[in-house]
Structures are given as C-alpha cells and as structure tokens.
Chains A and B, each alone.
Chain A
Amino acid sequence: GAVVSQHPSRVICKSGTSVKIECRSLDFQATTMFWYRQFPKQSLMLMATSNEGSKATYEQGVEKDKFLINHASLTLSTLTVTSAHPEDSSFYICSARDRWYGYTFGSGTRLTVV
C-alpha cells in the first residue's frame, strides 16, 4: 500500500527560530499534498494544499509567510514554520494524494515551541 513518511516525529525549538517538517511519499508519486494542523481532541484543520511545481493554496486565516510550503517534487513536500512562537505548538500532519491510492497520511509531527 501507499506509505507517506513524515519527519521529524517530534521537535522542540526555541521561540523565534524556524522549523522544517518533511513529508515524502515513498512508493508513489503524489499529485497533491496537504498540510493539516490538529489541536488536542479536535479534528484535522486543513492549512494548505500544494501541487507539485506550483505555489501552495492556503486556507483562510493561515499565514502564508509564517507557514512556508514547498512542493519541489512529486514525492516531497516541506512545511517550514518561520519565527515560531509558543502558539504555533501543535500536531502537524501531511497527506499525499494519488489517483490510485487516494489520500494517505503521514504519522504527524508534534511541534513544541519553548
């Protein structure tokens, strides 16, 4: 089956620094990748949708300058949280979409900003 690898699984960073999260589709080419944020005991909140080679489409209310998304290839997308602050602490999940496998999710990244 389709596998999406997300790294790191957990990261702690100091306030003001930037953090990069990687999302890779291991055995398929993802036409579209999605980035979600999830708060405790809540559902997934879509942050942005990215198609390979084009700019990401951000959901309303998501700061595109704070959450930089790069989808440089059909197997890799990255989310960079710039100038992170404690309120950015959350669980971030990526998802990759393929015409055959549908939507496959990564295992998530727990970001803690101290």
Chain B
Amino acid sequence: QKEVEQDPGPLSVPEGAIVSLNCTYSNSAFQYFMWYRQYSRKGPELLMYTYSSGNKEDGRFTAQVDKSSKYISLFIRDSQPSDSATYLCAMSAEGAQKLVFGQGTRLTINP
C-alpha cells in the first residue's frame, strides 16, 4: 500500500464546474499538507499549504484536511480552461525533510 493514494484520473469537467480532488494517506505522523499544480513539462507550483487539520481558502481554491479520516481535498470553484493541469498532493511529517507525493490527477477543463 502506498503511503499516499491519489486517483490519477484523467478527470474532465466543463468550464465553470466545481472540481473536487482528493488524497488519502496512511501515515498519521503527517502534519503538513500541500497541493501543487503542474503544467506539462514544467515544475510543480505550490497552490495551497495547510498545517494539521482544517480548511484554507485562497480565491477559487479551498483545501481541506481531515486528519481523523486521513483524507485531504482540494476544491476548485468556477473552473477555467487554464486550470487544466496535473494536481499533486504532497505531505510531510514534523521534522521530516522529504515530501511524499501522490500520483497526481490529470485535470482537463473543457470550454
């Protein structure tokens, strides 16, 4: 079993839809949770960063962490074609240097 599970998709939705992406994990020591967006042939860019449980909102993006269920989510409201990319969840434990990544979900927003 992988430490972090993420459905690779692909996921295709119409423009304007609400997109829900999620990851599950097995390591209860994870405290830092991140979502990265990666366009084709580019490096990942940080979208959202959350420490421990709770919600965080930034514009059209909302990140949720439920540590009791070991489940994290990223919601994208009013999705745009420019949101088409691969979304990677990543997490790390307190004091750990390394990030553990999910497999990434390929998302396409259709105009």
Q: Which A residues touch B88, using CB under 8 A?
A: 43-44
In the assembled complex, how far is the CB of residue A38 from the closest CB belonging to chain B, in whole angstroms? 9
Given contacts A43-B88, A44-B88, contact A103 B43 (CB under 8 A): no
Q: Give, as a whole number of angstroms, the nearest-CB distance from A58 to chain B.
A: 12
A93 CA to B106 CA in the complex, in Å? Answer: 19
Q: Which residue of A lies closest to B42 (CB)?
A: A107
Q: Is B16 in the interface zone, CB < 8 Å from A?
A: no
The residues in B between 53 and 111 inclusive whose CB is less than 8 angstroms from any CB of A are 88, 90, 97-99, 101-104, 106
Give the residue name and chain of the B residue nearest to A59 (CB).
B98
Cα–Cα, bound, A106→B103 (Å): 19
Q: Is the CB of A91 within 8 A of B41?
A: yes
Contact A34–B106 (Cβ < 8 Å): no
Query: Once bound together, how far apart are the Cα atoms of A95 and B43, in whole Å?
Result: 9
Chain A contributes a number of interface residues (CB within 8 A of B) equal to: 22
User: For the complex, is B44 an interface residue (Cβ under 8 Å from A)?
Assistant: yes
Q: Check A107/B43 contact, CB under 8 A, given A49-B97, A49-B98, A102-B34.
A: yes
Residue numbers in A under 8 Å from B106 (CB-CB): 41
- Across the interface, name the chain A residue whose C-beta is closest to B45: A105
Tell me the bound Cα distance from A72 to B46 in angstroms.
Answer: 26
Residues in B with CB closer than 8 Å to A34 are 98-99
Instruction: Tell me whether A103 and B41 are in contact (CB under 8 A).
Output: no
Which residues in window 64-112 of A have CB below 8 A to B? 91, 93, 95, 97, 102-108, 110
Name A's B-contacting residues (CB within 8 A). Answer: 4, 6, 32, 34, 41-44, 46, 49, 91, 93, 95, 97, 102-108, 110
